[in-house]
Amino acid sequence: MTIEVRNVCKSFKDVDAVRNVNLRVESGEAVALLGPNGAGKTTLVEMIEGVQIPDSGEIRILEKSWEKDEHFLRKEIGLALQETRFQDRLTVEETLGLFAGFYGLNQQRTREVLEIIQLESKRATWIVHLSGGQRQRLALGIAILPRPRILILDEPTTGLDPNARRDLWKILDDFKSTGTTLILTTHYMEEAEFLCERIVMMDQGKILADGTLGQLLDKFGEGDLIEYVIDGENPAAEANTLSGVLSSCWDAETGQGILTVNSISETLPKFLDLIKSFEVSLTSLECRRRTLDDLFLAMSGRHLDE
């Protein structure tokens, strides 16, 4: 067992940030803590990182505790915080070298990491001149410097453009092959799906769901979605009788409807015939698989990016 969180609670003034959370992470697992802002993800990982102390409950990491084995655990955990501003007027290589010194590592490791995070060409560039994506890659580089057994990343791609985000994902995906246990907090479902086999959904300090993407989709909702917007009479009642439709809903105000179906290819032609027979105008149509956001919405009434 790499990480074990037992009945952990943490409050700040009158806010219960984490409420009786239990979580077990095995060695080599990649776990995403997924939830909107204020879900309690950061507080939970800060307690795992040893930055915050739980009000109650227990956290054991690599069979050790922060109270007794802080120095040991600091060597075994690499982390990238939600936002760290490194010293503007140090170069990339100097910054990596500085942190390498904290872990007693040599310059060789600094060069290796520069290569991993693809910043060799920026080695002599001051931090102030790096883009947001390059800074996040540097933060990741510092996190992986000591070849940690546990890597904790707190919203590593928040605020990055899609290209920078994908660059970081690629580096992380490659790094996962080293067998490091990864804990990632994010409110991007694509990030959780891409990087982690296991997803833990959190909201209001509690764990709502825990499992692989397939397990979560199977457990909390089946079927694909046909989303449409029409201008005219409501065909929802008739649509509900079409074969393969599991459920339907309709918002009269916006003209927006959703059909949950067993198979899009089976139901879609029938649905389009129905629309045609009603002689209403179809202004928008989207067919898609159910996502984590749909599950989260169903469980919490909120979207992940709220």
Residues lying near other proteins in the complex (CB under 8 A): 49-51, 71, 74-75, 77, 79, 81, 83-87, 99, 102-104, 142
Task: Please say which residue, 100 or 292, places its beta carbon nearer to other proteins.
Answer: 100
Task: Please say which residue, 50 or 255, places its beta carbon nearer to other proteins.
Answer: 50
Strand order in the sheet with 256-261: 245-251, 256-261, 224-231, 281-288
Total residue length of the chain: 306
Task: Please say which residue, 12 or 102, places its beta carbon nearer to other proteins.
Answer: 102
Partner residues linked to 207 by β-bridges? 202
- Tell the smallest beta-carbon distance from residue 142 to other proteins (Å): 8
Task: Please say which residue, 73 or 216, places its beta carbon nearer to other proteins.
Answer: 73
Rounded-to-integer distance, Cα 254 and Cα 249, Å: 12
- Tell the smallest beta-carbon distance from residue 79 to other proteins (Å): 6
Task: Please say which residue, 104 or 179, places its beta carbon nearer to other proteins.
Answer: 104
The two three-digit tokens of residue 39, written as one number:
């879900």
At residue 71, the 3 state secondary structure works out as helix
Determine contact, residues 303/36, Cβ cutoff 8 Å. Answer: yes
- Tell the smallest beta-carbon distance from residue 85 to other proteins (Å): 4
Task: Please say which residue, 74 or 123, places its beta carbon nearer to other proteins.
Answer: 74
Q: Exposed (0-12), middle (13-18) or buried (19+): which is 280, by Cβ within 10 Å?
A: middle
**Phi (first) and psi of residue 152, to 5 degrees:** -115, 120
Question: Which residue type occupies 42?
Answer: T
Task: Please say which residue, 99 or 220, places its beta carbon nearer to other proteins.
Answer: 99
At residue 37, the 3 state secondary structure works out as coil
- Tell the smallest beta-carbon distance from residue 97 to other proteins (Å): 13
Query: Largest Cα–Cα distance in the chain?
Result: 74
Rounded-to-integer distance, Cα 96 and Cα 78, Å: 13
Determine contact, residues 260/224, Cβ cutoff 8 Å. Answer: yes
